[in-house]
Amino acid sequence: MQQDAGYYVIRKQAVPEVLLKVVEAKKLLESGKVKTVNDAADSVGISRSSFYKYKEDIYEFHDSLQGTTLTLTFQMNDEVGLLSYVLNLIAEFGANILTIHQSIPLNGVASISITIQVLPTTRDVMDMIDKMEKASGVHKVHISGRSATFA
């Protein structure tokens, strides 16, 4: 029976702790702060077998995004300067805005769709989304599309 190799995007708070520790162990190894898998596993408090079991199955979302386009969808209050804030935030994080679609606000709320290109210099997209969601008047940002960027 062939297993589906699909992917899911889930928030960090929903990821089991052992998987987050595997990511931390991989970072320790990549940075050279530790020399061996055993040292990395010990440092984060997991077994070597857990590390080897999951090391190919978990990675930080930002690392997998470079060279892709993402479509972000959300609702936003119809307030002066709020869309400008979001667009400036995207620029501040170093992503390239490809398209912007905004509906006419109904009951003071507009639906927004922004497609961005994630560049090698783009900072952590999940941090950007988190900062967007914390802005008063921006409601639940979703990644509704992802595709490869062709040069």
Residues 27 and 83 reside in one and the same domain:
no
Residues 70 and 143 reside in one and the same domain:
yes
Mean pLDDT by 10 residues, the chain (151 residues): 62 88 88 90 95 84 68 96 97 95 96 93 90 95 74 46
Predicted pLDDT at 120? 83
Rounded-to-5 percentages of helix, strand, coil across the chain: 40, 25, 35
The pair of three-digit structure tokens given for residue 65, joined into one six-digit string: 């995004």
Residues 100 and 121 reside in one and the same domain:
yes
Half-sphere exposure of 25 (CA within 13 A, CB side): 28
Predicted pLDDT at 149? 52
- The answer to the question of residue 3 being in a domain is no
